[in-house]
Amino acid sequence: MKIKNTRKLLTTPLLVSAICALVGGGLLLYYYLYAKDSSIASFVTCYAIVAVGALSLISIVFILIEQHYKIKTLKQGQELIAKYLSNDTNVSAQKTNYYSIQFQYELDNQVYTRKTKYEFSWGEVLTLKAVGEFKIRLLNGRIVLDEDLESLFENNKEKIRQEEQKYYDAQSKIEEILKNMQ
């Protein structure tokens, strides 16, 4: 749903594939040309490193295809208004939680409910919850967010602060209940 910077999306897979190609290829040349007693395990390890680089290059193709469709949807898609319903998280990486958003939109007098991938940060979730309604684009079943989350955040800081305070109040009440139970 979110459109990310293409350059940032491709940086990691390109680095991994380049490093794997250099390391794996270099080790293969070394073992083939210079090492006198190289084992089969050393060649298998080199081929495994090269295979990881090749898989990384293949992932770049899939990232580019997905990004192309998101950009096409943003340019040619039908503009709709979505209503925030809820959020969910069960994905975390590097001590950061990623959230999925459930939202509704209306198309041809019919209401649809959809859920995004786990791609939103907590601040982005609060922003979308605070504004309540946001623009999306729809094309061939693909939906992308047609809002700049940073400008939405800047324009709605007070609403976002109020939403955040609700969570802090609820959390302190839960902690108080748990404390009283002991």
The one-digit pLDDT tens for each residue of the chain (182 residues) are: 787 878 887 888 888 888 988 898 888 888 888 877 878 888 888 889 888 888 888 888 998 999 999 999 999 999 999 999 999 988 877 788 889 999 999 999 999 999 999 888 888 999 999 999 999 999 998 999 998 888 889 898 899 899 889 889 998 999 999 888 87
Greatest alpha-carbon pair distance for the chain in Å reads: 75
Distances in Å between the alpha carbon of 82 and those of 55, 64, 105, 153, 156?
Answer: 37, 26, 5, 17, 17
pTM of full prediction above 0.95: no
